[in-house]
Amino acid sequence: MKKLLNLLSILTFFIFYKFYDIFVASAALIVTSGLTCIIYWMIYKEIDKINLFSFITITIFGSLTIFFHNSQFIKWKITIVYMFFSLILFISQFCTKKPILQRFLEKDIKLSKLDWKKINIFWALFFLFCSLLNIYIALWLSETTWVSFKVFGLSILMFFSILITSLYINFKVLKKK
């Protein structure tokens, strides 16, 4: 259910973009991401921090897009969010005792400190790569290409990164047995 809620906003954005334009799609994205937070709270009796962060950034950049009638604002949203994620992962890699991914997942997944550092740096680099790729596509390719990349390209990249991480973890866990 959580995954479906997360997909709702991006699919709504894509559908409204195809039928209207980026400004209507941005408004629909703001409303849908707010509804996602409300539905999440109603079902799970808590607000997911990532959904809340996403709602806040969507509201800021979506509102700027609509107010100034300039699509560049919404295009920069994912770059800023992914840069933020990358920065947090890099900071936790080098400035804390445990990488942030280890802190979140070590209860369920038992890996060595080195393996956690490898996974953490992989995701930090992944988010950095995606943010730079988004800048390139947003600035140099058409708006339609950017929307398709945002909805499908980033989703596919995320899927393969999760798959690679899962395979790595499974390999390490099976190797220990």
pLDDT tens-place string over residues 103-120:
888 888 888 888 899 999
CB contact set of 126 (below 8 Å; sequence gap of 6+)? 157, 161
For the segment 116-165, what is each residue's pLDDT rounded down to a tens digit? 999 999 999 999 999 999 999 999 999 999 999 999 999 999 999 999 99
Average pLDDT over residues 5-10: 82
Q: What is the pTM of this model?
A: 0.88
Is 2's pLDDT higher than 70?
Answer: no
Amino acid at 158: M
* Residues 134 and 149 sit within 8 Å (Cβ to Cβ): yes
Label residues 142-151 b or e (16+ Cβ within 10 Å = b). eeeebbbbbb
